[in-house]
Structure 1
Amino acid sequence: MTTMMRERMLLGLALVMLAAGAVLPMMHQVAAGSVVRWIAVVLLCGFAMGRRSLTPWIFVAMVAGAEIGFDAPGFAVQLRVLSDIFLRLIKTIVAPLILATLITGIAGHGDMKSVGRMAWKSLVYFEVITTLALVIGLVAIRVTQAGVGLSVPIAAGATGLAAPPVQHWQDFILHTFPENIVKAIYEGQILQVSVFAVFFGIALALLPESKRAPVLRLTESLSEVMFGFTNLVMYFAPVAVGAALAYTVGQMGAGVLVNLGKLVLTYYGALIALAVLVMLPVMLLFRIPVLGFVRAVAEPASIAFATSASEAGLPRAMEAMEAFGVPRKVVAFVIPAGYSFNMDGAAVYLTLASMFVVQAAGMHLSLGAQIGMVLMLMLASKGVSGVPRATLMVLMAAAASLQLPPEPIFVILGIDAVMDMGRSTANLVGNCLASAVVARWEGTFGMELPSAVVVEGMAE
């Protein structure tokens, strides 16, 4: 029996055991179901041992983490510290990685025209895709009417989460420019770090070669070190992913997947529609290998899904896209910019959740008002970062601007963690696709070999 056949048999048997373990509790065989599911986890470990990639281990960790959350919720909630450690390590990587790669990409090539082309092409792509994502969210909730019939009392003067101040376009533009680069790095302001890196890279490119070379060598070395740092941190990813899911299931229980299930199914259905109706045609239009892209984003997407933070998968996503064939200068420019301008999952969520609030409150918005809401959310979605649950705060601001009652939003809080998993994954995948599209648009896709550090990291 070949190794591949043995691995497939282990995987198939493990999936059958998982299905059986899910059915047994319905037959009042709770203990037997738990044993069968743990046997499936062991079989999945055997399958993962035969693979060199971390992706199978991340999948195993997700299954094991969910099982720990079901069987031992008290212990599971204590595992959050492991996922928090991983997120802290990732946050130390993101800003230096973006700073070094973006400066190197701009100053190393010295072609300011190419930077300008990437900028306008990225913005055009971002706006088109974000608008389509907003429309898909609006259509999905209008079709399912998930909020209709949900009786939520609207109390005058009710207290709860305070809606943050409504952000105007002047505030957003001002917020893109850093007042202190150290503060921007400390607060994880990706767009501000990117703006600083762009200006720094342009200034460096304009210097004579003798002055530019030492700084350029430093940034090139720093980017290689940060990719190496990422490779080391990724060894901890399966543990962190398992801990994150264990905490989520242990804290909220299995009911988290049932509570307000219609809204959750509507959202994930809308994300599937986004992938099939928007992302897939884009890949075909720009001749991007579909299966190759799926394989490239599988690992960072699984990290983003389990941690509910697209930022957690960003370093690995940058490596994956470079290994996929996107030049580093494109990766370093497009993906960080996308974290403020191209949050596809957040865009779908914002229109869907806003209309859910309207339906739950028994209100009615005219078609013109709904179009106005989409335009307003197009701006509001630009302020969403890769931080877990940040979109919920934008929803509060949007509700205040649209004069919607806040009470239905409090209902969404109970399932926001489940929706945030898909939201973070769609955000990350959308930005990875944007980098590949811009590279193909520029005619540079597959024209540069990835660095040895990236190749080594992706082979592990």
Structure 2
Amino acid sequence: MKKKFKFTLAYQILTGLIVGIIVGAVFYGNPAVETYLQPLGTIFINMIKMIVVPIIVSTLIIGVAGTGDIKQLGKLGGKTLLYFEVVTTIAIIVGLFAANIFQPGVGIDMSELSKGDISQYVETTEEVKDNGIIDIIVNIVPTNIIQSMGEGDMLAIIFFSVLFGLGIAAIGDRGKPVLAFFQGTADAMFWVTNLIMKFAPVGVFALIGVTVSKFGLKSLVPLGKLAILVYLTMIFFIVVVLGLIAKMAGTSVFRIMKVLKDELLLAYSTSSSETVLPKVMQKMEKFGCPKDVVSFVVPTGYSFNLDGSTLYQALAAIFIAQMYGIELSVTSQITLVLVLMVTSKGIAGVPGVSFVVLLATLGTVGIPLEGLAFIAGIDRILDMARTVVNVVGNSLATVVISKWEGRFDASKEDKYFATTEKLA
């Protein structure tokens, strides 16, 4: 019997993406596109940002209160951070190897390239430089949790939620009404998430339409070698590196990507992993990961496990050096790895995070910061690829840590696929 075609959310988002590209290409250079479409894209992004903090706070408090064991939580945190550090370091090394082998910056005529404006990132970069690793650690502890929630300071929110969850567990029966409140909040917010996702195709259409109308597809031509290499390296990282990690953990990266097909398409279209955070958490729990692991690993990964971003930063740094004809020694490249390992952590909430990290890093190995202005024009197209890798990396991390803890529920995974195949 032939299956009846269903116009699912994935197809709706894909349609929005294609129509947006067509509209942007047809009306390239027309400011009216941004005037009329940007508000739709901004509304969608704002709706997602509106629900992220309540979902993280409520699910993390429920998960921690359910565990109630500070030793077990410390063990989970240690394993998570160790895994993040190892995988992001591998991502940096893969980026360096790709740039050194294929040399995308060699032979580029810089007179053909148009410069983008990077002044908006310079001030932020100075703040990042001023706030060293010690300050980042200090700022994890919030002075005002409401202010931290308003600013979307993920690490401070996680710190408070963990302590609050432990407090609820410690007071026993008296904490049950509070726990019930947060359970109700989480359930309600996931319902709101499903409602907002119905607007996703419109948001994708608007955001991609504005991008194409502003920069045009022809902006890719002078930097085509870099764009192609970034995409191929990202695919290599997902298929080979994350694929091997998944196989070692007894799962499949393609199976996880199948679960998250809607979210990956949305993340790619919007260049924002934040837009899919609520749904990723929901699906990873349905996939078989325990609630406390999901609610801890996924949000923490948004600050410490940006595989796509760190890979791109390493590749872009070497690309700019090659563009200027600068030969980086093995020592300089090792220094670059070490610096990126530090600068890429803890500033995920900063706008244009990859640019900020690069600005804070390039000077340490003698690469001109001005080189970033030449790749600013296609950064959005490159950002789409690295966002997908970030989402896949964090989702896989949740499964790996769940299995490492011996708490992954394989029956849920089988049930999830059986249900989705039946609905398809």
**TM-score, length-scaled by structure 2:** 0.90
> Which residue number corresponds to residue 55 of structure 1?
10
C-alpha change, 1:274 and 1:386, in structure 2 (3 Å) is farther
> Which residue number corresponds to residue 148 of structure 1?
106
Alpha-carbon shift at residue 447 of structure 1 (Å): 6.2
1:131 and 2:89 equivalent?
A: yes
> Which residue number corresponds to residue 76 of structure 1?
33
> Which residue number corresponds to residue 2 of structure 1?
2
> Which residue number corresponds to residue 77 of structure 2?
119
> Which residue number corresponds to residue 103 of structure 1?
61
1:93 and 2:51 equivalent?
A: yes
> Which residue number corresponds to residue 114 of structure 2?
none
Contact 1:310/1:386 (8 A) holds in 2: no
Query: 2:190 and 2:292 mapped to 1: Cα distance?
Result: 14
Where 2:344 maps in the other structure, the secondary structure is helix
Alpha-carbon shift at residue 387 of structure 1 (Å): 6.0
- Which AA in structure 2 matches 1:3? K
Note the residue ranges of structure 1 that are not aligned, 5 or more in a row.
8-49, 154-158
- Which AA in structure 1 matches 2:139? H
Alpha-carbon shift at residue 386 of structure 1 (Å): 5.7
Query: 1:361 and 1:316 mapped to 2: Cα distance?
Result: 43
Query: 1:110 and 1:205 mapped to 2: Cα distance?
Result: 5
Where 2:185 maps in the other structure, the secondary structure is helix
Q: Deviations over 1:360-379 (max 9, x none)?
A: 22212210110111011011
Query: 1:170 and 1:387 mapped to 2: Cα distance?
Result: 18
> Which residue number corresponds to residue 39 of structure 1?
none
> Which residue number corresponds to residue 206 of structure 2?
243
Query: 1:390 and 1:65 mapped to 2: Cα distance?
Result: 25
C-alpha change, 1:409 and 1:289, in structure 2 (3 Å) is closer
Q: Deviations over 1:369-408 (max 9, x none)?
A: 1011101101111134166522111111112333421221
> Which residue number corresponds to residue 263 of structure 1?
226
C-alpha change, 1:312 and 1:64, in structure 2 (3 Å) is same
Moved more, 332-341 or 298-307: 298-307
Query: 2:327 and 2:139 mapped to 1: Cα distance?
Result: 34
> Which residue number corresponds to residue 204 of structure 1?
168
Where 1:3 maps in the other structure, the secondary structure is coil
Contact 1:267/1:419 (8 A) holds in 2: yes
Alpha-carbon shift at residue 457 of structure 1 (Å): 12
Choose the corresponding residue for 2:376, options 386, 406, 413.
Answer: 413
Q: What is the 5 A alignment of 1:19-418?
A: 50-51=6-7, 53-73=8-28, 74=30, 75-77=32-34, 78-152=36-110, 161=119, 162=122, 164-165=125-126, 166=129, 167-207=131-171, 209-385=172-348, 389-418=352-381
Contact 2:243/2:252 (8 A) holds in 1: no
Say which one has the larger Rg: 1
Query: 2:233 and 2:412 mapped to 1: Cα distance?
Result: 36
Where 2:143 maps in the other structure, the secondary structure is coil
RMSD of aligned C-alpha atoms? 2.4
Alpha-carbon shift at residue 79 of structure 1 (Å): 0.8
Query: 2:302 and 2:358 mapped to 1: Cα distance?
Result: 17
Alpha-carbon shift at residue 168 of structure 1 (Å): 2.3
Where 2:243 maps in the other structure, the secondary structure is helix
Contact 1:386/1:424 (8 A) holds in 2: no
Query: 1:259 and 1:182 mapped to 2: Cα distance?
Result: 46
Alpha-carbon shift at residue 130 of structure 1 (Å): 0.3
Alpha-carbon shift at residue 273 of structure 1 (Å): 1.6
Aligned residue pair count? 405
- Which AA in structure 2 matches 1:87? I
C-alpha change, 1:315 and 1:448, in structure 2 (3 Å) is farther
Query: 1:449 and 1:229 mapped to 2: Cα distance?
Result: 24
Alpha-carbon shift at residue 66 of structure 1 (Å): 0.8
C-alpha change, 1:417 and 1:388, in structure 2 (3 Å) is farther
> Which residue number corresponds to residue 31 of structure 1?
none
C-alpha change, 1:160 and 1:276, in structure 2 (3 Å) is closer
Runs of 4+ in 1 over 6 A off after TM superposition: 455-460
C-alpha change, 1:291 and 1:406, in structure 2 (3 Å) is closer
Moved more, 114-123 or 229-238: 114-123
Contact 2:287/2:412 (8 A) holds in 1: no
C-alpha change, 1:386 and 1:238, in structure 2 (3 Å) is farther
Alpha-carbon shift at residue 448 of structure 1 (Å): 8.2
Contact 1:231/1:457 (8 A) holds in 2: no
- Which AA in structure 1 matches 2:33? A
C-alpha change, 1:432 and 1:260, in structure 2 (3 Å) is same
Query: 2:260 and 2:222 mapped to 1: Cα distance?
Result: 30
- Which AA in structure 2 matches 1:2? K
> Which residue number corresponds to residue 446 of structure 1?
409
Query: 2:224 and 2:139 mapped to 1: Cα distance?
Result: 37
Note the residue ranges of structure 2 that are not aligned, 5 or more in a row.
112-116
Where 1:303 maps in the other structure, the secondary structure is helix
Query: 1:136 and 1:407 mapped to 2: Cα distance?
Result: 24
Query: 2:245 and 2:212 mapped to 1: Cα distance?
Result: 35
Moved more, 345-354 or 387-396: 387-396
Contact 2:13/2:204 (8 A) holds in 1: yes
Q: What is the 5 A alignment of 1:425-444?
A: 425-444=388-407
Moved more, 70-79 or 316-325: 70-79
Query: 2:94 and 2:43 mapped to 1: Cα distance?
Result: 36
Q: Deviations over 1:256-305 (max 9, x none)?
A: 33240111111112111211221001111111144431211211111111
